[in-house]
Chains A and B, each alone.
Chain A
Amino acid sequence: MEIINTPATAQVEEAGKGVDLSRRRFFQMAGGMAGAGLLFAACKGSAPTDIYVGSGDTGLLNYLYILQQLEAAFYTQAVATPYYGLTASEEALLTELRDTEVAHREFFKKMLGADAVRNVEVNFSPVTFADRTSFLSNAIIIEDLMVAAMNGVVKLFTDTKYILIIAKMAPVEARHAAYSRDLLTRNSFADATAVNSNGLDLASSPLTVMNSAQTYLQSRFDTSKLPSY
């Protein structure tokens, strides 16, 4: 798997200010890449090289598998090139995070069998892994996005066994999100950027999540048959 790791300091400075980071980063990336037209290409019709995500439950499982590939690659890179100043405790937890996301990734791959999409190529140019603030800010975006994805996807499944499996996994992603939030800003584990005034956590549609996740993905996807709303 190709990992592109170019520091992007302008975005690091913006990160951590607390408000809707994923959307802001999307627009930052859009601005930064406008000349290359990469992101806007992704918004048009699918190209022959795009990875076809599939339809129905298979499409939904592939969608989660793509996100889990992203998370596993993110923590694999972080364990290989950890941020400066990490404590022994943080190092141990970083390894647990990697192992957990690898387990999630392989679980989806196994469930999908021959229907699994190929390995995706990630784009970690927004992340400076050696920088604690950059790493954690991006970890928060990715984990919050994963929570929103799992909470938002369950109502689309036809086979309810997948819903009950995700009921065991969504809270784990929320634990991850809360941890990175607390490490960056103590007590921000469930602040108003994640949990609304009814005490409800994030939930987003597959197409909304894929749009945000594209920031970290070099591969492009054909989501034309992916169930969404």
Chain B
Amino acid sequence: MNFKNILNDISASEADESLSSRRHVLRSFGSKVALAALPFAIGSLFNKTYGQTGSKLIEALNLALEIDYMQYNFYHIANNTGDLIPPSTFSGNNDTAGFRTIEQQQLAHINFLKTTITALGGVPFTPKNYNPLDVNPPFVPSAYDFTARKSSTYAPIFVNVFASYPKFLMLAQLLEDVAVKAYAWGMQDALGNTTILTQMFQLQTTEARHAAHVRLMRRLPDVSAPETPSPWIVNNIPPTIPLQSYYLGEDNTIQNDISLTTLPGTGGSNVTKIGATAGFDEPITRAAAYAFIDPFRL
């Protein structure tokens, strides 16, 4: 990249980047100049900031979009499957309303991410057999097999996923937790675009709200899932042993090189392992995220 191209890139970026984004670049530029010779600093600046607004960011957003399509289809089928979701898991309440909220918000995410990816010059992911002329294009049930027939590990668990409320909730928990963890990883690809970075955080915490709700439904007496899930991820406990891989690394107690359980906690004790592990949702790589959702894609 020569200097003239850099200047062109600056003006192109300034045309479509927010003020705060430019400020971010200028700030990191200042700190880098102190460390290195100027020409090298300029090259490094563009690799590390504007470079990230390219394909990596679109990859991160397209993974989020793919998971959202999957979730939308999953909940749309469930919400239209007879007696799957009980009208009353907890006295006087109606579980169906919660899952309609989740379905609606996954659809909103699909539309939002499609618009965002297109605006960045990327091509939004579409599920297998997607047809824009369908009555409801995001609903593509022939793209998915939520019973996971192709996986000898998962098929025995999810064979009755739309006939058993506990199994439905178990897969819902996996999909929501995976979405949260995939966003946690994807943030590193949005550092050069603070507008999208913030929006990705706002999308991630919505998924986390869904995850907490699903986990609470599994904890409550009518389901009473054996591992007594908390709304947050305590330690690395999976819903059932064959699903352990989804929660590997969640028992991490070291953050930013700080060993949390050596810090002072409550009543003269140290920070507990429960607090240390429940306090952080661990990222998963894009490869891991795809491996987790693959058994449910046709």
Whether B112 contacts A200 by the Cβ 8 Å rule is yes
Whether A104 contacts B279 by the Cβ 8 Å rule is yes
Whether A150 contacts B201 by the Cβ 8 Å rule is yes
**Residues of B contacting A89 with CB < 8 Å?**
219, 228
Within 8 Å by CB of A171, from B97, B106, B204, lies: B204
CB B204 to nearest CB in A, in angstroms, measures: 6
CB A139 to nearest CB in B, in angstroms, measures: 13
User: Considering only CB atoms and an 8 Å cut-off, how many residues of chain B contact the other chain?
Assistant: 70
**Residues of A contacting B95 with CB < 8 Å?**
187
Residue B149 at the A interface, CB < 8 A? no
Bound: A229/B19 CA distance, A:
11
Bound: A163/B203 CA distance, A:
15
Whether A194 contacts B209 by the Cβ 8 Å rule is yes
Among the listed stretches A24-32, A36-44, A94-102, which one makes contact with chain B, having 4 or more residues with CB under 8 Å of it?
A94-102
Residue B293 at the A interface, CB < 8 A? no
Bound: A161/B95 CA distance, A:
39
Whether A154 contacts B183 by the Cβ 8 Å rule is no
Among the listed stretches A45-53, A105-113, A122-130, which one makes contact with chain B, having 4 or more residues with CB under 8 Å of it?
A105-113
Within 8 Å by CB of A107, from B27, B101, B105, B260, lies: B260
Interface majority SS on A: helix, strand, loop or mixed? helix
Within 8 Å by CB of A178, from B20, B212, B266, B281, lies: B212
**Residues of A contacting B212 with CB < 8 Å?**
174-176, 178-179, 182, 189
CB B177 to nearest CB in A, in angstroms, measures: 9
Whether A199 touches B105, Cβ cut-off 8 Å, given contacts A99-B272, A189-B213, A190-B206, is yes
Whether A173 contacts B205 by the Cβ 8 Å rule is yes
Whether B198 contacts A187 by the Cβ 8 Å rule is no
**Residues of A contacting B258 with CB < 8 Å?**
107, 110-111
Whether B280 contacts A147 by the Cβ 8 Å rule is no
Within 8 Å by CB of A154, from B201, B211, B256, lies: B201
What 1/0 mask marks residues of chain B from 246 to 281 whose CB sits below 8 Å from any chain A CB? 000000000110101001111000011011101111
Q: Which residues of A, 59-106, contact B by the 8 Å Cβ criterion? A: 76, 89, 93, 96, 98-104, 106
Residue A207 at the B interface, CB < 8 A? no
Whether A99 contacts B198 by the Cβ 8 Å rule is no
Within 8 Å by CB of B274, from A96, A165, A198, A200, lies: A96
What 1/0 mask marks residues of chain B from 100 to 140 whose CB sits below 8 Å from any chain A CB? 01100110110110000000000000000000000000000
**Residues of B contacting A4 with CB < 8 Å?**
none
CB A218 to nearest CB in B, in angstroms, measures: 21
CB B24 to nearest CB in A, in angstroms, measures: 7
CB B34 to nearest CB in A, in angstroms, measures: 12
Residue A119 at the B interface, CB < 8 A? no
CB A114 to nearest CB in B, in angstroms, measures: 15
**Residues of B contacting A147 with CB < 8 Å?**
205
Interface majority SS on B: helix, strand, loop or mixed? helix
What 1/0 mask marks residues of chain A from 165 to 189 whose CB sits below 8 Å from any chain B CB? 1111111111111110010001101
Whether B278 contacts A100 by the Cβ 8 Å rule is yes
Within 8 Å by CB of A201, from B24, B31, B202, B230, lies: B202
Residue A118 at the B interface, CB < 8 A? no
Residue A10 at the B interface, CB < 8 A? no
Whether B98 contacts A187 by the Cβ 8 Å rule is yes
Residue of B whose beta carbon sits closest to that of A95: B274
Whether A167 contacts B201 by the Cβ 8 Å rule is yes
Whether A154 contacts B198 by the Cβ 8 Å rule is yes
Residue of A whose beta carbon sits closest to that of B93: A186
Not counting A106-B260, A200-B199, a sample of 13 additional A-B residue pairs whose C-beta atoms are within 8 angstroms of each other reads: A102-B271, A165-B255, A170-B201, A174-B205, A175-B208, A179-B232, A186-B94, A187-B95, A199-B203, A200-B203, A202-B202, A202-B205, A229-B20
Sample of 28 A–B contacts (CB below 8 Å): A96-B278, A99-B271, A99-B272, A99-B275, A102-B275, A111-B256, A111-B258, A150-B205, A151-B202, A155-B24, A155-B197, A164-B187, A167-B183, A170-B205, A170-B208, A171-B211, A172-B281, A174-B205, A174-B209, A178-B231, A190-B102, A190-B209, A198-B112, A199-B106, A200-B206, A201-B202, A202-B202, A203-B198
Q: What residues of chain B have their CB less than 8 Å away from a CB belonging to chain A?
A: 20, 24, 27-28, 31, 90, 93-95, 97-98, 101-102, 105-106, 108-109, 111-112, 180, 183-184, 187-188, 191, 194-195, 197-199, 201-213, 215-216, 219, 228, 230-232, 234, 255-256, 258, 260, 263-266, 271-272, 274-276, 278-283
